[in-house]
Amino acid sequence: MTISIRLPSADEALLKRAASALRMSKSEFIRRSIAAYAEKTLPDEQTWAEIDARYIGQGGGLRHPESIADPRQRAIVERLREKHGYAG
């Protein structure tokens, strides 16, 4: 996919210097930068599992409401998922 962006001259100079320092093309520098930023921005499955374990418990009931044995608790979890749009 081709993307075209306009950079202010200061950012363009910074891009040229950084790419040159790492001995790579500006395009490669931008691709790697996007990948690195995306990894920091988007939580991976391990991160979600840690959040579940910390706030929900080891069972991760909000992820799998069918795994909750008590029908009353399962109904609460399902209502919470509907209300908050939890798609996990």
Looking at the structure, do residues 18 and 33 belong to the same domain, yes or no? yes
Cβ-contact 33, 39 below 8 angstroms: no
| Residue 15 pLDDT level (bands cut at 50, 70, 90) | very high
Looking at the structure, do residues 50 and 76 belong to the same domain, yes or no? yes
Total tally of structural domains belonging to the chain: 2
Q: Is the pLDDT of residue 28 over 90?
A: yes
Domain membership of residue 2 (yes or no) is: no
Write down the mean pLDDT value for the chain: 80
Residue with tokens 């579940």: 52
Looking at the structure, do residues 50 and 80 belong to the same domain, yes or no? yes
Cβ-contact 32, 19 below 8 angstroms: no
Residue with tokens 């929900």: 56
Its domain, for residue 67, covers 45-84
Domain membership of residue 51 (yes or no) is: yes
| Residue 62 pLDDT level (bands cut at 50, 70, 90) | low
| Residue 72 pLDDT level (bands cut at 50, 70, 90) | confident
Domain membership of residue 3 (yes or no) is: no
pTM of the model: 0.49
Identity at 5, one-letter amino acid code: I
